[in-house]
């Protein structure tokens, strides 16, 4: 009988800007346009260089959605020589590749053309569906319209981009809504075959936000949601939980395949109060299962050749490295 395998990635978390056009009821990441709202190039480059030396394989780029739509942001961006945050992202993606990190971008809603451009410098990309339900937490967030998000996930499929999506648990949706979200993701994957992993992420209340008094989902509810995801989603789609946000050692038994990206250097800027677990802690969390490192592009997509020629040498090199690091497992 084969030993169960649970995977993870070593990454560097790079929040390029905290400015966002959405106003979600649970978010503490978003800030107004102000000094420090854009990660300076020298800080981004230094973070990537040190992370690569620490053995990371992934540069996770994330930022607020459509920051250029927020008044005052573009003049702030022009101070570092750019008029579009996506141009800055593109150049930093090239830098990540030079340092030996595979870029993975989670930038909110992007058009088909923007996805097509970024796929040349990204090994994988992502967008949380969050929920197919209309919830009060998204009332002032046009980018959280379910139809808009589903369209982008579908466009990623049309472009053969290895993709991460997921749901947020506890933002006002029901278990029936979660089931509908998983069915939508399943159907998109059946059509395009591009969904690598689905994150089941639990809401955690943040002080100073409209939802600061809302309850955190119980472990039993999260377990039932993970079990539902594993029942609905195809076997080749991993079910992931963030190990810093919930009782991962209990939840891995509910059908979890992956523990996402953890960083030896950078914090979780979206949940800054929740530190990443060390690799040794992850080994304890998975119990009798085997903990195995992976790249941000899953093996089946490497085999399919779902990456740009620019990334091929690095993907091959990093695949060999983690294979050796895991003892040739």
Confidence at 194, pLDDT banded by 50, 70, 90:
very high
Query: Residue 329 and residue 322: Cα distance in Å, rounded?
Result: 10
Q: For 101-130, write each residue's pLDDT tens digit.
A: 999 999 999 999 999 999 999 999 999 999
pTM for the model stands at 0.95
Query: Residue 125 and residue 75: Cα distance in Å, rounded?
Result: 27
pLDDT at position 70, please?
Answer: 95
Sheet strands (E) in 245-319: 258-262, 290-293
Whether pLDDT at 280 is above 90: no
Whether pLDDT at 329 is above 60: no
pLDDT at position 1, please?
Answer: 59
Q: Which domains does the chain have, with CATH numbers?
A: 5-325 (3.20.20.70)
Q: For 82-101, write each residue's pLDDT tens digit.
A: 999 999 999 999 999 999 99
Query: Residue 52 and residue 48: Cα distance in Å, rounded?
Result: 6
Confidence at 13, pLDDT banded by 50, 70, 90:
very high
222: Cβ contacts below 8 Å, ≥ 6 apart: 169, 200, 202, 241, 246, 251, 254
pLDDT at position 269, please?
Answer: 62
Confidence at 28, pLDDT banded by 50, 70, 90:
confident
295: Cβ contacts below 8 Å, ≥ 6 apart: 9, 57, 58, 102, 123, 302, 315, 318, 319, 322
Query: Residue 14 and residue 20: Cα distance in Å, rounded?
Result: 15
Query: Residue 263 and residue 242: Cα distance in Å, rounded?
Result: 12
Please count the other Cβ atoms lying within 10 Å of the Cβ belonging to residue 243: 24
How far CA 111 is from CA of 116, 149, 239, in Å, comes to 9, 11, 26
Query: Residue 185 and residue 5: Cα distance in Å, rounded?
Result: 23
Average pLDDT over residues 157-177: 97
Task: Calculate what percentage of the chain has a pLDDT beyond 70.
Answer: 98
Residues 228, 222: contact at Cβ < 8 Å?
Answer: no
Whether pLDDT at 328 is above 70: no
């Amino acid at each position: 009988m084969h030993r169960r395998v649970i995977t993870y990635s070593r990454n560097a978390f790079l929040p390029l800007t905290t400015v966002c056009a959405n106003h979600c009821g649970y978010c503490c990441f978003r800030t107004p346009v102000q000094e420090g709202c854009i990660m300076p190039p020298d800080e981004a480059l230094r973070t990537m260089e040190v992370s690569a030396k620490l053995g990371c394989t992934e540069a996770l780029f994330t930022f607020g959605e459509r920051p250029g739509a927020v008044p005052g942001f573009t003049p702030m961006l022009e101070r570092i020589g750019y008029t579009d945050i996506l141009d800055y992202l593109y150049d930093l993606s090239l830098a990540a590749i030079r340092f030996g990190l595979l870029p993975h971008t989670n930038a909110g809603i992007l058009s088909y053309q923007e996805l097509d451009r970024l796929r040349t410098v990204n090994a994988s990309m992502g967008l949380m569906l969050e929920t197919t339900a209309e919830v009060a937490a998204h009332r002032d967030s046009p980018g959280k319209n379910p139809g808009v998000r589903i369209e982008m996930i579908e466009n990623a499929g049309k472009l053969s981009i290895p993709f991460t999506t997921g749901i947020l648990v506890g933002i006002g949706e029901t278990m029936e809504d979660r089931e509908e979200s998983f069915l939508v993701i399943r159907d998109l994957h059946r059509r395009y075959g591009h969904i690598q992993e689905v994150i089941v992420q639990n809401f955690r209340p943040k002080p100073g936000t409209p939802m600061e008094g809302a309850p955190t989902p119980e472990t039993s509810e999260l377990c039932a949601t993970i079990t539902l995801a594993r029942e609905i989603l195809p076997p080749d789609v991993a079910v992931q939980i963030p190990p810093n946000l919930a009782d991962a050692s209990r939840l891995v038994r509910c059908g979890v395949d992956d523990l996402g990206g953890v960083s030896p250097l950078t914090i979780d800027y979206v949940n800054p109060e929740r530190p990443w677990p060390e690799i040794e802690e992850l080994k304890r969390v998975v119990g009798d299962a085997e903990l195995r490192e992976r790249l941000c592009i899953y093996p089946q997509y490497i085999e399919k050749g779902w990456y740009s020629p620019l990334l091929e040498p690095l993907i091959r090199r990093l695949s060999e490295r983690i294979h050796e690091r895991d003892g040739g497992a």
